Chains A and B, each alone.
Chain A
Amino acid sequence: MSVVEARRVTRLFPMAAGPVAAVRDVSLSVADGEYVAVSGPSGCGKSTLLHLVGVVDQPTSGEILFESRDVAALKEAERSRIRLVRIGFVFQRFFLLPMLTARENIELPQAEARVPAADRRARTRELLEYVGLADRADHLPSQLSGGEMQRVAIARALANRPALLVADEPTGELDEQTGGHIADLFDRVHADGTAILVVTHNPVLAARASRRLTMKSGSLVS
């Protein structure tokens, strides 16, 4: 069964010289527990496709079905709810809240989902151990390295036990060794049954996926 399915989606961006198709007639599905990597040159539309599949953006044409629900038919509040509890997002630039500690950053989406405080704390402890940062729980992002920040971001994305983890260039700002650690972490997440859709230039990370796709000029070529 598909967690998410994109059917002939196109995303046009209006420009002064005329609309540009960042994604052109793409169909893609990610099954339960599947690990999919999308690669391609810069500007080919990988991130745009990720935003569409991650219910962050809406296609100009075509359909996005998340767990068989047509995303376009949903109100923004419902889409927001899907992003909160069914999808976990990992960004290239981490986007941790700088004024919150690692622990608080991970607790935030759980608080938004109205998870009771005791359960939040337990889940957060579990996730910090999972990503190997139990001893850095009370550190601010400014006190963490790039790799550590990305691990906290992954823990945050997993906080509400999503069906799908979506990652946009998760190793883009990290060195090779640290990127390797992140790739290992993604393997663990996949092994635990979470579907993953990752957009990446990193061949090491792409190689870990069970299905690799390539985009070029807004279309999937393989």
Chain B
Amino acid sequence: MTSLWLAWRTTKRYRVRAVLAVVGVAVIGALLFDMLLLSRGLLASFADLLNSGGFDVRIVGSEGMPIVRLPIAGSTRLANELRALPEVRDVVLIRIERATLWSNERTSRPVTLVGTTQASGGPYTIVRGDDLPRDSSFDRCPILVSRHLAASLGVEPGSSVKISVNPDGVRSALPAVSCRVTGVVNFFFASAGENSVATTMTALQQALSVPAFAPDASAGEPGVDADLILAASQPATGPAAAVRAIHRVRPDLRAYSNEDVVALFNQNGFAYFRQISFVLSSLTTVFAFLLVATLLTVSVNQRLGEIAALRALGISRGRIASILLWESALLVGGGALLALPLGGLLALGLDHLLRQMPGLPERLHFFVFQWRAVATHAALFGVTAAAAAAYPMWLTARLPIAATLRREVVG
């Protein structure tokens, strides 16, 4: 006849209120669990997205992440210097421009044009067609188009299009160049409806054809100012060592490991979700505590005569307190367990809802399952169960036995 067994029998006896309490805790607990998932989910998803390209260091020419585009002077020579560093395994130059893509004389779309020196295996998955060719001597302007853009313009691998670039700070019109669609892809970093195009840096350089972007290169490579340089660190040394090595070579540039980028976004871009996660986690925990404590207190008040009789029979205060603690644990624990699958379902819905936000990469998720969230959820509810039982336990410990028995007889 353990305290748990007695608590279970009490809960069974008052099963309607117990079921309702468990359902209430489960629903609130689902929300708490989701807020715990949200608190680090977005970061985890963003980190996953950054790591998916295979590069773990990002180099820009300005403070903070590239919202402001400042070209990195001498990018090609810099890339060669970086490749020579023992801490660096690979380097890729990236340049992003606004452009207009014409599928025919009349139909055009504004696009984001990304030029890259990465031969293949970029941050995209190929839906149809082929990747950018390694050797662009046969194909002067091979491009990959996003699935949304391809559907919108009705282009397929093999289609011919024209692209005219609209670089920042350059107001004169640039001539359009003819390009060939080699593949239709899903870009990792593009939002659902975004029109994105990727091409080789050579093709982009030719599309720009502006003398101000003078070549500054080793033999055989086009000179180009990159917006962003991606570097992959050597596994043995890691990204932090690569960042330090890059700073030694070019202290004027900003080099960030993926962890640094995630930390920056956590500080600024994701602040709203961090705050709302914290606020709602706190509120739901307090809510669950208040409601279970109220339920238990009312339940104890209803059974005071019974409890006084047990005390008169010699059942100790400690035993009665432990029965109440187990009652709380059963209600809160049952609800907390049920909250996990409920929370999972709710998270799918909330994630789908939040991902409708414009401009978000399609692969970014707000709610990502982590065992740490489960552990925090369990710990919070453990504390809640104990705290919710505290006042009813105190009530029964202070209960005047004789006065209560008298009151029950008179009542």
In the complex, the answer to whether B10 meets A82 with C-beta atoms within 8 Å is: no
Which one of A92, A99, A107, A168 contacts B1 once the chains associate, using CB atoms below 8 Å?
A107
- Cα separation A169 to B406 with both chains bound (whole Å): 12
Interface pair A112/B312, CB less than 8 Å apart: no
Interface of chain B residues 281 through 319 with chain A (CB within 8 A): 305-306, 309-317, 319
Interface size on B, residues (CB 8 A): 23
Q: Is the CB of B10 within 8 A of A99?
A: yes
A77-93 CB mask vs B (1 if < 8 Å, else 0) is: 10011111101110111
Q: Are A56 and B1 in contact, CB atoms less than 8 angstroms apart?
A: no
A138 to chain B, nearest CB (A): 14
Q: Chain A contacts of B317 at CB under 8 A?
A: 76-77, 80
Task: Give the chain A neighbours of B409 by CB distance below 8 A.
Answer: 47, 92-93, 168-169
State in angstroms the CA–CA spacing of A80 and B9 once bound together.
24
Give the nearest-CB partner of B307 in chain A.
A95
**B316 cross-chain contacts in A, Cβ below 8 A:** 77, 80, 84, 112
Nearest neighbor of B9 in chain A, beta-carbon distance: A99
B401 within 8 A of A: yes
Residues in A neighbouring B10, C-beta threshold 8 A: 99
Q: Which residues from A are CB-within-8-Å of B408?
A: 93, 95
Chain A 91-114 interface 0/1 with B at a Cβ cutoff of 8 Å (1 = within): 111010111100010011101110
Would A84 and B405 count as touching, CB distance under 8 A? no
Instruction: Tell me if A10 counts as interface (CB < 8 A to partner B).
Output: no
Q: Does B13 contact A (CB under 8 A)?
A: yes
B352 is an interface residue with CB less than 8 A from chain A: no
Mask for B391-411, Cβ within 8 A of A = 1, else 0? 000000000011001101100
Given A47-B409, A57-B402, A93-B408, the answer on whether A108 and B315 have CB atoms closer than 8 Å is yes
Residue ID in chain A nearest B314 by CB atoms: A84
**Residue A51 is within 8 A (CB to CB) of chain B in the complex:** yes
Is residue B12 within 8 Å, beta carbon to beta carbon, of the partner chain? Answer: yes
Inter-chain CA distance A73–B313, complex, in Å, is 20
The verdict on A95 contacting B1 (CB below 8 Å), with A56-B402, A109-B314 known, is no
Given A48-B402, A80-B316, A99-B9, answer yes or no on A111-B306 (Cβ-Cβ < 8 Å).
no
Question: Given known contacts A47-B409, A51-B405, A56-B402, is B312 in contact with A89 (CB within 8 Å)?
Answer: yes
Q: Is A54 an interface residue (CB 8 A)?
A: yes
A215 to B79 Cα, complex, angstroms? 106
| Contact present for B314 and A56 (CB under 8 Å) | no
Chain A stretch 106-152: residues in CB contact (< 8 A) with chain B: 107-109, 111-113
Chain B neighbourhood of A98, CB < 8 A: 13, 306
Contact A80 to B402, CB < 8 A, known contacts A93-B305, A99-B12: no
- Chain A 171-203 near chain B by CB (<8 Å), digits 1 or 0: 000000000000000000000000000000000
Q: Which of A48, A56, A82, A85 makes the CB contact (< 8 A) with B401? A: A56
- Asked if B314 contacts A81 (CB within 8 A), the reply is yes
Point out the residues of chain B lying under 8 angstroms from A83, CB to CB: 311-314
**Residues A48-66 near B (CB distance < 8 A):** 48, 51, 54, 56-57
The residue that B313 contacts in the complex, of A57, A77, A89, with Cβ under 8 A, is A89
A24 within 8 A of B: no
CB atoms of A100 and B9 under 8 A apart:
yes
**With the chains together, A151 CA to B402 CA distance in Å?**
22
CB-based contact B13/A112 at 8 Å: no
* Contact present for B315 and A56 (CB under 8 Å): no
| B9 touching A82, Cβ below 8 Å | no
* Bound: A195/B137 CA distance, A: 113
| Contact, CB under 8 Å: B313 / A109 | yes
Known: A112-B314, A168-B409. 4 other contacts (CB 8 A): A51-B406, A82-B314, A99-B10, A108-B315
Q: Residues of A at under 8 Å CB distance from B?
A: 47-48, 51, 54, 56-57, 76-77, 80-85, 87-89, 91-93, 95, 97-100, 104, 107-109, 111-113, 156-157, 160, 168-169
A-B contact pairs, 11 of them (CB 8 A): A48-B402, A56-B402, A57-B401, A76-B317, A77-B317, A83-B311, A83-B314, A91-B309, A95-B305, A109-B314, A156-B313
